A and B are shown apart, each in its own frame.
Chain A
Amino acid sequence: MTAVNLNDLDSSTSLVEGLDSTKGSGPDKVFRWAAFGAGLMVLVILALITITTAQAAWPAFSVEYFTSATWIPSAQEFGMLGFLWATLLISFIGILLAVPVAVGIALFATEVAPRRLRRSITTVMDLLAAIPSVVFGLVGFYVLRAPAQDLFRWLGDVCAGIPILNRIFGEGSSGTSILMAGIVLSIMILPIITSISREVFDTVPRNDKEGALALGATRSEMINGVVIPHSLGGLTGAVMLGLGRAMGETIAVTLLIGGVSNPPITIDVLSASDAMPSAIARYLSESAGTYRAALIGLGVTLFIITMIINVLSRKVVGVFDRRIKGAA
């Protein structure tokens, strides 16, 4: 029987098709095509997403749209740079705060913690990942806004006289601000960065780690000398995936960033602003014409940026995987 060895069957698709067409085996053919169709559906949907949203946004796209930071819907002026800036800034803050913590937890889980504790680390991160975005927004809005306002005002006062800091921490008038959104974002992207970092650290060969320890390295020296250098590529990928997540995060940011109609390009993290997805969430249902197209354009731009980040990060992780396997 040629059909007995399944690996043969699958490695040469034409053989299967040949067999099927001659024998006319109905169910197998149907099943095959159904599975194939489902696989294609992913591509179709992704293509549909791209085309539909791009078409809807098309009327708004112009040179000005991508180069101006003036966004005045009533005057039909749509320059998206302010929103892009705010999105990048909160994502940057999120990454900046989340990465050290995530790497620390991942190292703790892979190199230090006993098996039992390892499981509870997983549980904590899973729970954190399971909390819906809107709940982070809710807690931030109702519970943290008031204390954050006091804290930020104090921070603004303290930094008022210090040259560069007084530009980063300006007069915090309200709790909801870029910094608040960034902090909550960092909590929200923590689980994904942690779990990918853990996977990355897990790929460091035991043999290499023992090599360092056998030379009399302490655990932290081993981590510094072997684990981290080995994982740099994978960590880059983890950070980029986290960045992609952060940029697309909508509801919590919408509730916590403050919301201004024309976000300025500022480095004052205590000021209110608005991010790309938040603007869409806020205004899309009450918009029409070019305004609507401009809002959807924010979504398309966001989509393209996160797609590029994702593709790059997968590539980075892929290259890194191959390097490890090649070296092993």
Chain B
Amino acid sequence: MNPMTDEETPVPQPAPTQFSDLAHETAEDHPAPVAGTTVFDVTDLSVLYSGFRAVKDVNIDITEHEITAFIGPSGCGKTTVLRCFNRMNDLIEGAAVEGSLKYHGVDLYEKDVNPVEVRRRIGMVFQKPNPFPKSIFENVAYGPKLAGIKKKSELDEIVEKALRGAAIWDEVKDRLNKSGLGLSGGQQQRLCIARALAVNPEVILMDEPCSALDPIATGRIEDLMEEIKQDYTIIIVTHNMQQAARVSDRCAFFTTEVNPDSDQRTGTLVEFDATEKMFSNPSDERTENYVTGRFG
């Protein structure tokens, strides 16, 4: 496992634009400035569960073709925030969102936005690998089939491409018809990444994707993230600070505030900045304490 030296990206690089030109007509496709195109613009986001404020004051910009990491102690709401980005919190009864979460200028929680459309564009990889109890092929083909692609030859092409993209093709190409559950944990997680890539999303959300994996499998997933960020925008939740330092371009540090009156815990964003700065010269004391291991 490499230390952070060569993995670090000092300044976010200009986003490669050549492929997105093909599909888009909008203004975002102009050569990106140094800071890159903003994909998500989060302003004063709060998440409430049955009226109780679980997370508050989240202000983040997510930049195209970067890896943004959410870090912080457990229970600080980083996963909760992540699940707002594809409206996964809709599934939790009593969950509500305040503030704005704009995706290319459109608030995802606007009335006429369909969560299914959101999830079609913004993929997700979960903490625990969750391949369907189907064959490897069917796992990857599931999303494209939903999107209306029925032809076997086209599905073959997509599946191969997604599996290659997730760096698992060589391991599974001879057993595409075997169950996805027969793979190792790391392979399962890469299969899930392939499954997410197969529908060609713009963004991939990763919720502690390596927490159930051994270091070698973790290393492969991290390499993979480095590779696919040229094509996708990635947000990753991790409680592993080294991982955040290794893979991310920007970092958001969350922590928990305890209300002294009600004893309620509310997650809040402390600092959001380039990863290098966060780990070398954070502006908030709490961040420093956390990244240096004095807290958390």
Contacts and interface: CB of A to CB of B under 8 A. Distances in A.
Interface in B190-224: 192, 195-196, 199
B133 A230 contact: yes
A27 interface: no
Nearest to A217: B146
Name the residue among A114, A210, A214 with the largest chain B CB count within 10 angstroms: A214
Interface in A19-53: none
Contacts of A101: none
Contacts of A212: 132, 142
Contacts of A213: 88, 91, 119
Contact of A216 (B88, B126, B147, B181): B147
A210 B126 contact: yes
Contacts of B35: none
B123 interface: yes
A327 B119 contact: no
Contact of B142 (A114, A207, A210, A215): A215
Interface stretch (A72-80, A183-191, A218-226): A218-226
B286 interface: no
B112 to A, nearest CB: 17
Nearest to A327: B181
Contacts of B181: 327
Interface in B87-107: 88, 91, 93
Interface size of B as a range? 20 to 34
Contact of A221 (B128, B131, B146, B196): B146
B130 A218 contact: no
Interface in A230-255: 230
Nearest to B128: A207
Contact of B132 (A114, A115, A218, A226): A226
Contacts of B130: 205, 207-208, 210-211
A211 B142 CA distance: 11
Contacts of B132: 208, 211-212, 225-226, 229
Name the residue among B93, B120, B133 with the largest chain A CB count within 10 angstroms: B133
B88 A214 contact: yes
A220 to B, nearest CB: 11
B149 interface: no
B86 A214 contact: yes
A216 B143 contact: yes
Contact of A215 (B117, B133, B146): B146
Nearest to A111: B91
A157 B274 CA distance: 81
Contacts of A210: 88, 91, 124, 126, 130
A229 B133 contact: yes
B116 interface: yes
Nearest to B138: A225
A213 B83 CA distance: 12
Contacts of B88: 210, 213-214
Interface string B18-35: 000000000000000000
A111 to B, nearest CB: 10
B93 A214 contact: no
Nearest to A229: B133
B119 A216 contact: yes
Contact of A114 (B93, B128, B196): B93
B123 A115 contact: no
B126 A211 contact: yes
Given A210-B88, A213-B88, A218 B133 contact: no
Nearest to B134: A229
Nearest to B131: A211
Contacts of B124: 210, 214
Contacts of B116: 216-218
B207 to A, nearest CB: 10
A196 B13 CA distance: 56
Contacts of A207: 126, 128, 130
Contacts of B117: 216
Contacts of A114: 93
Contacts of B123: 214-215
B148 to A, nearest CB: 11
B128 A215 contact: no
Contacts of A218: 116
Contacts of A230: 133
B214 to A, nearest CB: 19
A136 to B, nearest CB: 35
Contacts of B128: 207
Nearest to A209: B91
Name the residue among A211, A221, A327 with the largest chain B CB count within 10 angstroms: A211
A326 to B, nearest CB: 9
B172 to A, nearest CB: 18
Nearest to A208: B130
A225 B86 CA distance: 20
Interface string B123-161: 110101011111000000011001100000000000000
Contacts of B142: 212, 215, 217, 225
B93 A115 contact: yes
A218 B120 CA distance: 10
Contacts of B133: 229-230, 327
Given A210-B130, A217-B116, 10 more contacts: A211-B130, A211-B195, A212-B132, A214-B123, A215-B123, A215-B146, A218-B116, A225-B132, A225-B142, A229-B134
11 contacts: A205-B130, A207-B130, A210-B126, A213-B91, A214-B119, A216-B117, A216-B119, A216-B120, A216-B199, A221-B146, A229-B134
- Sort A-B residue pairs by CB-CB distance and give the 5 closest, nearest first: A216-B120, A214-B124, A215-B143, A211-B130, A207-B130
